[in-house]
Chain A
């Protein structure tokens, strides 16, 4: 499954002090956090780096089981001449060309590993447009043409796209990661009989939904207390995954401590964001729309910073293959079970705090009516600070657990999930935490079950369609309250 797929990804360690960056990164307080934790271990694809005079045509090939396909030969032909590329032990290949134009990429099928074949033989050869300074990808999927698209295929395509082939969109490979994400790692286990597959998909959907709920509950709390839709929330989720990755893979810490460090790191980030940016903006009476645009700026900066520090490849937090445990007709990996248990406990704790404690009641009072809450002696500013801290902490934790469940994290991991999180909390009714949980479960189920009728690469799209349909019928969401005017 995915864990195995990414296990062998080659990693060229690049140690880099952040001495250069501070001048560039003024205003982005978060840098400090990232800088502290980041000793990047990005997996740069084979040695070709595009510049003004070079384009790198490249790709990653995986077997139908998700292992890197080693030693496969590609012939590349175009304006600059004829070249040959061979996949390395990470399944990656690249060819440097010095002239822009259209190139024909042919996969030499005789060099494929034993038993492997192209899933779509008609897609070989492929034509790619190579512009100088870019990394156009030429992607091929291996597997049985008749079978449902195997997760490995989409994972391979995401790797190629992940190298980014357009200067306009460093975050372009979202959809690649999207198909890599989802719960394909789990659902693929049950390709067997119909009923069993549906059951496995339902379980996967619920697991994914629960983790999505944990990752998104913070955004919901922020929205509830400040009215702000935080577009950088997804990147806080990524932050958790990256911190955990660094803690486990670079510092060699055990997973449990990585989870704690990641959560704490997220909380620090939340504190910095509010203390450094949003609290001053609120004090100056800057409108929510303007603040929303600030979060967009943050999201843009953070995702690109992650890209610089960690590269575009998937980053498996845990290297070993997790044992699968059979639970009746379905089977789950140990990591998944661990993630689900933690997510369930934490969500229950959040609900308990909101419902039963003084601070929770104060938070809900601020959500309902900040001026009234302030008038009744609640320190609104510190409540909001607390909400930011816990929101970012929960997002980070969600990022780690989601990363464990899906097998790996990535620079754009959270931003891919951002829309699903928004969809979940909008479905549930903006600002209603319980609704958010329900919304997330619905989204999880839709994402997984849609694969029964739709192609795999449209699973996230289906969740977004559901969002729009529900808003049509019930604009205030599942548990939301209608608005009062005047």
Chain B
């Protein structure tokens, strides 16, 4: 087997749009869970809404910035719809309602009735809405090789998308860093520990939780835009497994840390590509066909998640001392 090309694949995936999108989604989930203790099981719903919002408004002819803002607006509205009724209830309800709501978005998106708008279960093809983003690139078109990776400058899975994507990730990290050390972040952490105590100190817990849900959801939506710009908007590719992967990424990197989600996402995709590549290369195809290797990769993801919780619940960047304390 060809290790050099496998390692190139790993590098390409670990720095690619998928890793970027999941990093953004995990940063959002970090605000929900790591900072506020909200169990959002519907991050994929925010991503899907972001992707739809961006794609549909671009197809409708709106400029890039407006489409981006509409995508964010969709996430804000979705967060409010979810949060207003459920954030007053116990935590489990939020988990169930968010996962249900994300599925509702997906069911509606793929329903035959909305074929004209969302493309039904086929989704929206990238070529229908990528032009405004690709057109905004200051770089000349063409194939550009940097190190072992050779990509189009502007089209689809491009250098341009990576530049913008990592820029967004950096911005998100900066925002989280600033918020973490602010009094606002302090209230969120207090809510994570014990919301009744925070309420007793005169903070309107409900408002803070709502703000947290909205902000984290917006990062999810931005992640959704990135993933849709790399390929297409496909409702079934933004289902429950995406949320589960995002959780794995967050816990792998370390919740309540600034760079945990980013590191988690890079490692997650690198490891997945590496493991799949090794299995493809080392296991003869008549024993395991390539279609079976993909789900096997996810079997490993699931096991990793279990082992993480059991053996290193604080993740790679988390503070063991902090987690050792059982509130």
Contacts and interface: CB of A to CB of B under 8 A. Distances in A.
Chain A in direct contact with chain B (Cβ < 8 angstroms) = yes
Contacts of A464: 100-101, 103-104, 107
Contacts of B302: 28, 296-302, 304
A474 B37 CA distance: 24
Contacts of B308: 297
A157 B121 contact: yes
Given A25-B299, A27-B306, A127 B125 contact: yes
Interface stretch (A170-178, A208-216, A344-352, A389-397): A170-178
A353 interface: no
A304 B298 contact: yes
A129 B126 contact: yes
Interface string B79-114: 000000110111111011101110110111011110
A297 B305 contact: yes
B93 A426 contact: yes
Interface stretch (A192-200, A318-326, A454-462): A454-462
Contacts of A149: 112
Given A457-B112, A475-B88, A297 B104 contact: no
Nearest to B90: A483
B206 interface: no
B125 A129 contact: yes
A301 B300 CA distance: 7
Given A170-B294, A175-B106, A468-B97, A294 B18 contact: no
Contacts of A20: 283, 287-288
A281 B309 CA distance: 9
A293 B310 contact: no
A104 B89 CA distance: 49
A172 B111 contact: no
B223 interface: no
Nearest to B125: A129
A479 B236 CA distance: 35
Interface string B278-309: 00100100011111101111111111111111
B93 A102 contact: no
B100 A419 contact: yes
A262 B90 CA distance: 35
Given A287-B326, A471-B93, A475-B88, A168 B237 contact: yes
Nearest to B291: A49
B241 interface: yes
A468 B237 contact: no
27 contacts: A28-B306, A102-B127, A127-B122, A127-B125, A161-B121, A166-B234, A171-B241, A174-B236, A175-B110, A285-B326, A289-B39, A290-B309, A291-B309, A297-B301, A300-B244, A300-B301, A300-B305, A301-B298, A308-B296, A419-B103, A423-B100, A455-B112, A455-B113, A457-B107, A457-B112, A460-B103, A471-B89
Interface of B: 18, 37, 39, 85-86, 88-93, 95-97, 99-101, 103-104, 106-108, 110-113, 121-122, 125-127, 196, 231-232, 234-242, 244-245, 247-248, 251, 280, 283, 287-292, 294-310, 313, 326
Given A149-B112, A305-B295, A468-B85, 19 more contacts: A27-B303, A28-B303, A49-B289, A129-B126, A133-B290, A139-B121, A161-B236, A169-B239, A175-B106, A289-B91, A294-B309, A297-B302, A297-B303, A299-B244, A308-B299, A419-B99, A464-B103, A468-B100, A475-B93
